[in-house]
Amino acid sequence: MPFLLLIEDDDAIRTGLELGLSRQGHRVVAAATGEDGLKLLKEQRPDLIVLDVMLPGIDGFEVCRRIRRTDQLPIILLTARSDDIDVVVGLESGADDYVIKPVQPRVLDARIRAVLRRGERDSTDSAAFGSIVIDRSAMTVTKDGQDLQLTPTELRLLLELSRRPGQALSRQQLLRLVWEHDYLGDSRLVDACVQRLRAKIEDVPSSPTLIRTVRGVGYRLDTPQ
């Protein structure tokens, strides 16, 4: 399920899109200002951002640029038809697509899926971490050339970690990305899965070099040198 961050100051439009996009099968969090949006971005790590151009405070273009300084995640700009804006400025600030308001949720949904699809295709199909090679299209993982038998959950976990190498992900974030739920009580769910994954991909599972524990936070996938 795609996980979206919607940044839009107009209450009516924001609520409408939030509802509409949820019905189209997305999980949506929303912010009314650029500042709030950037904050939510860091906390929640969405898959894609839908970003209004005309915002109080820092505007959409600026938000876009700031995101692009550190992040490659896809951005769709929302612009009012009456805005006499230069599409080039928008695209140069790093947006992936443009949608003109008013927009039907299902239209926006189609654009979102298109952009996500493009992203999937553009992202390299394989990644390497030490002796581990992940082939995203074959959905296989090999260690020193040998095929590893990962279970679906282990694979999803590794894929999500590998999409953000070197970045610490909290248990909460992993839960959302891999299990698509929101609430982790104090179960050892994530830890247990990490343990099983380590058992398969680490040379010495008890002192892992790939999936590192970040105490007080969660886990991080490193490329050992």
Q: Which partner in its own copies, DNA, none is near 193 (CB below 5 to 8 A by kind)?
A: DNA
The answer, yes or no, to whether the previous bond of 102 is cis (omega within 30 of 0) is yes
Instruction: Report whether 182 contacts 169 (CB < 8 A).
Output: no
Alpha helices in the chain (DSSP H): 11-23, 34-44, 60-70, 87-92, 105-122, 152-163, 171-174, 189-201
140 binds DNA (CB under 7 A): no
81 C-beta neighbours (distance < 10 Å), count: 8
> Based on CB atoms, which residue is closest to its own copies, 138 or 199?
138
Binding mask 34-73 for its own copies (x = CB under 8 A): ----------------------------------------
152 binds DNA (CB under 7 A): yes
200 binds its own copies (CB under 8 A): no
Q: CA-CA distance, 200 to 148, in Å (whole number)?
A: 7
The stretch near its own copies (CB under 8 A) out of 31-39, 55-63, 80-88, 183-191 is: 80-88
> Based on CB atoms, which residue is closest to DNA, 167 or 187?
187
179 binds DNA (CB under 7 A): yes
Q: Which partner in DNA, its own copies, none is near 188 (CB below 5 to 8 A by kind)?
A: DNA
DSSP state of 130: T
Q: Is 130 left (phi over 0), alpha (psi -120 to 50) or beta?
A: left
In whole angstroms, the minimum distance from the beta carbon of 82 to its own copies comes to 8
195 binds DNA (CB under 7 A): yes
In whole angstroms, the minimum distance from the beta carbon of 17 to its own copies comes to 16
Q: What b/e readout covers 30-64, taking b as 16+ CB neighbours within 10 angstroms?
A: bbbbbeebbebbeeebbbbbbbbbbbeeeebbebb
The stretch near its own copies (CB under 8 A) out of 29-37, 60-68, 153-161, 191-199 is: 153-161
Classified as helix, coil or strand, 140 is strand
Q: Which partner in its own copies, DNA, none is near 23 (CB below 5 to 8 A by kind)?
A: none
The helix (run of H) or strand (run of E) holding residue 134 is strand 132-135
CA distances from 172 to 3, 185, 223 (A): 14, 10, 23
> Based on CB atoms, which residue is closest to its own copies, 119 or 205?
119
The residues that touch DNA, with contacts defined as CB under 7 A, are 149, 151-154, 171, 179, 185, 187-189, 191-196, 198, 205-206, 213-218
